């Protein structure tokens, strides 16, 4: 019988970008990530997970957590055989190697980390734990609760189709070919180079397409969120063109309110394409400058995103089936 196996992707760079200098975001210390992993390991093994596949990285988050609970650690931990570059490629390659080997992947990072995982995770259920700057996609959740839900899925107490949902994503096409994706927001900007990646100057923003929007979001999706709230369960997206028009103030970064003008907007059905007027453009994806486009650009919102564990639903079903009984 196949061992109940869980993958762990812990990004040492999440929550540490330039927005800590130009905004007022807190620094998410890597030792706190070590503490999160320590709690994950203890709870996962308590509920029957037998093996962990972990991404090696520059800080050594998982090894540090293992050291802290060394004498109490019973779960097998294996590190994936990847060359560590200290970039997003580590996350992508590690996720690819987990295919067909794990029942779920725990992702410790922000929107950007989860976006990279989503490119390679296929239909593997993921548990996104928030430790980034923009944290619209991942859960603000205690590691203990996250581990309980993951263990319920990994041990088969709750089937993936019962305790997960397919997330939305924003797809960017250039001349008819898929160029890149975002999980929350894709923004056409006037930036001419990637640079520090982070986006914080609203005068460079031109068009925004979001899968989820709310006035309670932090980051660029807060702009359309002030116009109209769209939840994760709604089969809708939203397109906003910035320019001359109604002025609003939005929290585009922690502690930073900026005024922008709303020229036009429209609600999008799933799969409905919108043509981007700003070309050439450098697209910011989930808050980070990523994709340069020069041709004919269209964008749409779909349900082709990652499979995400609904921890509340999963734990409710697990409790009904005796998961917590001694």
List domains and CATH numbers for the chain.
Answer: 5-167+306-320 (3.40.50.10330), 169-302 (2.60.200)
Whole-number Cα distances in Å, 173 to 21, 81, 189, 274, 306: 33, 33, 16, 10, 19
At residue 290 the predicted structure's pLDDT band, cuts being 50, 70 and 90, is confident
Query: DSSP string covering 90-159, please?
Result: HHHHHHHHTTTT-SEEEEEE-HHHHHHHHHH-TT--EEEEE-SSS-SSSB---HHHHHHHHHHHHTTSS-
pLDDT of residue 200 exceeding 80 = no
Q: What is the mean pLDDT of residues 273-278?
A: 96
- Output the pLDDT for position 281: 92
Least confident range from 85-94, 99-108, 125-134, 173-182: namely: 125-134
Identify the helix (H) or strand (E) that includes residue 43. helix 30-46
Residue 99 and residue 2 in contact, taking contact as beta carbons nearer than 8 Å: no
Whole-number Cα distances in Å, 73 to 40, 61, 76, 103, 208: 11, 15, 8, 20, 46
pLDDT of residue 326 exceeding 60 = yes
pLDDT of residue 20 exceeding 70 = no
Could you give the CA distance from residue 55 to residue 292 in angstroms, rounded to a whole number?
29
Residue among 53, 76, 55, 60 at smallest CA distance from 6:
53
Could you give the CA distance from residue 93 to residue 27 in angstroms, rounded to a whole number?
26
The string of pLDDT tens digits covering residues 64-113 is 999 999 999 999 999 999 999 999 999 999 999 999 999 999 999 999 99
Q: List 297's β-bridge partners, or say none.
A: 174
At residue 199 the predicted structure's pLDDT band, cuts being 50, 70 and 90, is low
Residue among 173, 210, 209, 206 at smallest CA distance from 190:
206
Q: What is the mean pLDDT of residues 162-183?
A: 97
Residue 142 CB: number of other CB atoms within 10 A? 12
The string of pLDDT tens digits covering residues 230-254 is 999 999 999 999 999 999 999 988 8
Query: DSSP string covering 171-223, please?
Result: EEEETTEEEEEESSEEEEE--SS-TT-B---GGGEEEEEESSB-TT--STTHH
Could you give the CA distance from residue 158 to residue 156 in angstroms, rounded to a whole number?
5
- Output the pLDDT for position 13: 87
Give the rounded percent of residues in the chain with a pLDDT score beyond 90.
83
Could you give the CA distance from residue 53 to residue 76 in angstroms, rounded to a whole number?
9
């Amino acid at each position: 019988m196949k061992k109940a196996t869980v993958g762990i992707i812990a990004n040492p760079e999440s929550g540490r970008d330039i927005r800590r200098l130009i905004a007022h975001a807190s620094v998410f210390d890597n030792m706190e990530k070590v503490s999160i992993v320590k709690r994950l390991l203890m709870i996962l093994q308590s509920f029957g997970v037998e093996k962990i596949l972990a991404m090696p990285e520059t800080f050594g988050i998982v090894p540090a957590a293992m050291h802290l609970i060394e004498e109490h650690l019973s779960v097998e931990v294996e590190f994936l055989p990847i060359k560590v570059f200290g970039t997003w490629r580590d996350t992508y390659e590690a996720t690819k190697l987990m295919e067909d080997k794990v029942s779920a992947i725990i992702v410790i990072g922000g929107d950007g980390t989860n976006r990279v995982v989503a490119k390679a995770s296929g239909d593997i259920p993921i548990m996104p734990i928030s430790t980034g700057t923009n944290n619209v996609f991942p859960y603000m959740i205690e590691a203990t609760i996250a581990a309980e839900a993951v263990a319920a899925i990994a041990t088969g107490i709750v089937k993936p189709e019962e305790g997960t949902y397919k997330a939305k994503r924003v797809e960017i096409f250039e001349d008819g070919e898929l160029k890149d994706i975002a999980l929350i927001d894709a923004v056409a900007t006037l930036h001419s180079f990637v640079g520090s990646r982070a986006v914080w100057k609203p005068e460079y923003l031109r068009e925004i397409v979001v899968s989820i929007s709310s006035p309670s979001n932090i980051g660029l999706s807060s702009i359309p969120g002030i116009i109209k709230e769209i939840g994760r369960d709604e089969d809708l997206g939203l397109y906003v063109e910035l320019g001359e028009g109604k002025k609003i103030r939005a929290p585009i970064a922690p502690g930073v309110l900026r005024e922008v003008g709303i020229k036009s907007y429209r609600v999008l059905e799933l799969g409905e394409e919108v043509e981007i007027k700003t070309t050439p453009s450098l697209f910011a994806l989930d808050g980070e400058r990523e994709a340069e486009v020069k041709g004919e650009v269209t964008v749409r919102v779909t349900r082709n995103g990652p499979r995400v564990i609904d921890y509340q639903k999963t734990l409710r079903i697990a409790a009904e089936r005796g998961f917590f009984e001694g």
